Amino acid sequence: MILRQPRKRPENWTAIVANVKHRWKIPFVAWEWLWEWLAFLLSNWHFLEVLEYLGRFSVLVAVIFYFSESGNRIKQKHYQAWQVINTAQGKGGSGGRIEALQELNEDKVPLVGVDVSSAFLQGLKLERANLLRADFSAADLRNSDLKSSDFTDADLHSANLRGSDLENASFESANLKNVDLWASNLSGSKLDDADISNADLSYADLRNVEWKQLRNVAGANFFGAKNAPEGFVEWALKNGAVQKPPGLE
């Protein structure tokens, strides 16, 4: 902000020179005197004051336009995120999909039906995500944070979820065949009508798992599973599940 104050008219040059005791100082005094005149003239030029007000007004207009266009910027950001996900569909690697998925979920955009099969998504953070009918088959999701996410009717067969946090996640009617859940946290998760045949649940935390309507557990490995609800492992073993150290046939 420019503080404009009318300046006092500079003294007459003759009077200034008369007060200079050493003549070698005159060029320096003259230089300063010229700048004083320039400052005096500009301080009384109202055009500069108008320019200052216009500058402030332009800032206000820019702020108004910035907020009025925020909705379009968000839409553009979401469009670009979906473009990243869809362009890399069916391909390995990440391809920017981790950031795109997290960005959409942070903005509470439903990820219903998203296809990230075979993608490299280690460390993905999608807490409370809406992933109904999503395709995560053969995806690498090791050490991911998927707490309270909804995987109803999702396809996760052959996915790698080792060490992931799946607390309170819903896998109702999901395909979990051959999924690797080694040492994952499944506490409070819902497995109603899910197919976990040949899944590896070794050392998984099964505290408060909803399991009584599981569709298929044949071949699922419960070796070292922790905190299983009463009767769960026994029921699973009677229905074709196993308890054997990983790596043993």
pLDDT digits (tens, 9 = 90+) for 154-176: 999 999 999 999 999 999 999 99
What is the pLDDT averaged over residues 56-66? 63
pLDDT at 8: 72
- Asked whether the predicted pLDDT for residue 67 surpasses 70, the reply is no
Q: Note whether 63 and 154 are same-domain residues.
A: no
Distance CA 242, CA 77 (A): 47
Domain count, the chain: 2
Distance CA 8, CA 36 (A): 9
Q: Note whether 106 and 228 are same-domain residues.
A: yes
Q: Note whether 142 and 216 are same-domain residues.
A: yes
Residue 249 lies in a domain: no
Crossing angle of helices 70-87 and 97-106, in 10° steps, is 140
Q: Note whether 149 and 211 are same-domain residues.
A: yes
In this predicted model, what pLDDT tens digit does every residue of 207-248 receive, in sequence order?
999 999 999 999 999 999 999 999 999 999 999 999 998 665
> Which residues make Cβ contacts (< 8 Å) with residue 3, sequence separation at least 6?
none
List the single range of 3-7, 52-56, 101-105 with lowest mean pLDDT: 3-7
What is the pLDDT averaged over residues 91-99? 85
Q: Note whether 98 and 146 are same-domain residues.
A: yes
Residue 248 lies in a domain: no
Q: Note whether 211 and 127 are same-domain residues.
A: yes
Crossing angle of helices 70-87 and 46-68, in 10° steps, is 50
Q: Note whether 130 and 212 are same-domain residues.
A: yes
Residue 33 lies in a domain: yes
- Asked whether the predicted pLDDT for residue 138 surpasses 80, the reply is yes
Distance CA 200, CA 104 (A): 30
Residue 133 lies in a domain: yes
Residue 238 lies in a domain: yes
Helices and strands in the chain, H and E counts: 6, 0
pLDDT at 92: 76
Burial of 89: CB neighbours in 10 Å, binned 0-12, 13-18, 19+: middle
- Is the distance from CB of 175 to CB of 195 less than 8 angstroms? yes
CATH number for the domain that contains residue 192: 2.160.20.80
Residue 21 lies in a domain: yes
Average pLDDT score, the chain: 86
Residue 159 lies in a domain: yes
> pTM (2 decimals)?
0.71
- Asked whether the predicted pLDDT for residue 65 surpasses 90, the reply is no
> Which residues make Cβ contacts (< 8 Å) with residue 151, sequence separation at least 6?
131, 132, 134, 136, 169, 170, 171, 174
Confidence of residue 40 (pLDDT cuts 50, 70, 90): low
Distance CA 245, CA 102 (A): 35
Expressed as residue numbers, the domain containing 238 is 91-242
Distance CA 211, CA 209 (A): 6
pLDDT at 48: 56
Q: Note whether 95 and 177 are same-domain residues.
A: yes
Residue 82 lies in a domain: no
What is the pLDDT averaged over residues 167-194? 98
Q: Note whether 165 and 122 are same-domain residues.
A: yes
Cβ neighbours around 9 below 10 Å, total:
11
Q: Note whether 54 and 101 are same-domain residues.
A: no
Q: Note whether 43 and 140 are same-domain residues.
A: no
- Is the distance from CB of 165 to CB of 145 less than 8 angstroms? yes
Q: Note whether 30 and 97 are same-domain residues.
A: no
- Is the distance from CB of 98 to CB of 78 less than 8 angstroms? no
- Asked whether the predicted pLDDT for residue 20 surpasses 70, the reply is no
pLDDT at 41: 64
